[in-house]
Amino acid sequence: MAAPTTYQTFLDDALAQIRRGEAPENALTERLAEVGALELTDQRGIGGGCIADAARLETTAGPLFLKTHPDRGDGMFPAEGRGIEALGTRIRTPQVVAAGSVDGTAYLLLEWLDLGPVDDAALGEAMAELHAEPQAAFGWHEDNFIGAMPQLGGEDDDWARFYGQRRLAPQLDWAAERGLSGRSIDAGRKLIDALPAFFSDYHPYPALIHGDMWGANHGALTDGTPVLFDPATYRADREAEIAMTELFGGFAPGFYQAYQAHLPLDAGYRTRKTLYNLYHVLNHFNLFGGGYANRADGMIRQLLAEVR
């Protein structure tokens, strides 16, 4: 089967970046720098997620994973690649080959990983190890993305202030533009003002987190090693990560048991879980609309009741 010309142009662009020294430095790009050409021999679409299309590319240097999306000029894939690289210093992620744009299509080219069954306990332990090392400050050095929505960067040593101003407030502003009720918006802004009350006796440290940790964004290598992909990386209260794992059905019990054994959660987590998942529910409203409006409104009112 002849491969589409467009896929070859992504490979050509990636190899050119590598040879100009503009691609990430890792074992895969070092190996690709030595090839005479990176030629496409076959391709197979693998049903991308809600945001991007995905394909496995068979090349003369082995299989690679390609994500594509219409180029919006916002640097979504380069930012994702840098987030993957940052996580990769602490936990297994795909190596990044290159990110760029060709003929109006943005792309992210990654190492292809053969995946096997997930070891839930190994994932919980690996996540605890990722979160255990305190970082310098909350936030991130650049804007990146949560799904297709912007996720604001900036750094702050006050977590409640950062979470209110750089996470909840922008989502509420976008939700107002997309038709979330004025009642919900006003209540959400009251909640932001009340955020310090949730941290009166809990003082989190900045931890490096994946940032969009639901079931489709992790896996395991064939030897059981946990692997993460599709991140929205930043430094946060680690509880925000664990809360996200519970939002859409939850992970297996073994994950939580292993995590708690290595890095126990504070007793107030059950309340703050709702606070942290509000960010993702608002984001889903901004992406998809629908029933997320009622869910966000209920969460906001539940949280306000906690501080009255």
pLDDT tens digits along 170-207: 999 999 999 999 999 999 999 999 999 999 999 999 99
Structure tokens at 294: 């009622």
Instruction: Tell me, yes or no, whether 45 and 167 share the same domain.
Output: no
From start to end of the chain, where are the E strands? 40-45, 53-59, 62-70, 96-102, 105-111, 138-140, 144-146, 149-151, 154-156, 207-209, 218-220, 226-228, 234-236
Q: What is the predicted pLDDT for the residue at 308?
A: 81
Q: Where on the phi/psi map is residue 181: left (φ > 0), alpha (ψ -120 to 50), or beta?
A: beta
Is 138 in the same domain as 236? yes
Q: Are residues 167 and 86 in the same domain?
A: no
Last residue of a domain, one of 57, 78, 111: 111
The CATH number for 262's domain is 3.90.1200.10
Which pTM value belongs to this model?
0.95
On whether both 165 and 297 belong to a single domain, the answer is yes
Q: Are residues 31 and 140 in the same domain?
A: no
Residue 275: closest CA among 174, 201, 194: 194
Catalytic residues: 212
Angle, alpha carbons 66-69-70 (nearest 5°): 140
Same domain, 77 and 201: no
Those residues of the chain that have pLDDT short of 70 are: 1-5, 48-49
Parent domain of 221? 120-307
Q: Give how many domains the chain has, as a whole number.
A: 2
CA dihedral 71, 74, 80, 85 (to 10 degrees): 110
As a whole number of angstroms, the distance between CA 208 and CA 236 comes to: 6
Q: Within this chain, do residues 194 and 269 fall inside the same structural domain, yes or no?
A: yes
**Domain co-membership, 151 together with 288:** yes
Residues 101 and 163 in one domain: no
Same domain, 140 and 97: no
Question: What pLDDT, on the 0 to 100 scale, is given for residue 18?
Answer: 97
Q: In this structure, what token pair is assigned to residue 142?
A: 């650049």
Same-domain status, 186 and 215? yes
The pLDDT of residue 2: 46
Q: Of the candidates 63, 89, 111, which is a domain's last residue?
A: 111
Last residue of a domain, one of 55, 78, 111: 111
Q: Are residues 275 and 229 part of one domain?
A: yes
Secondary structure (3-state) at 88 = coil
- The CATH number that applies at residue 58 is 3.30.200.20
Euclidean distance between CA atoms 99 and 81, whole angstroms: 7
Residue 60 is predicted with a pLDDT of: 95
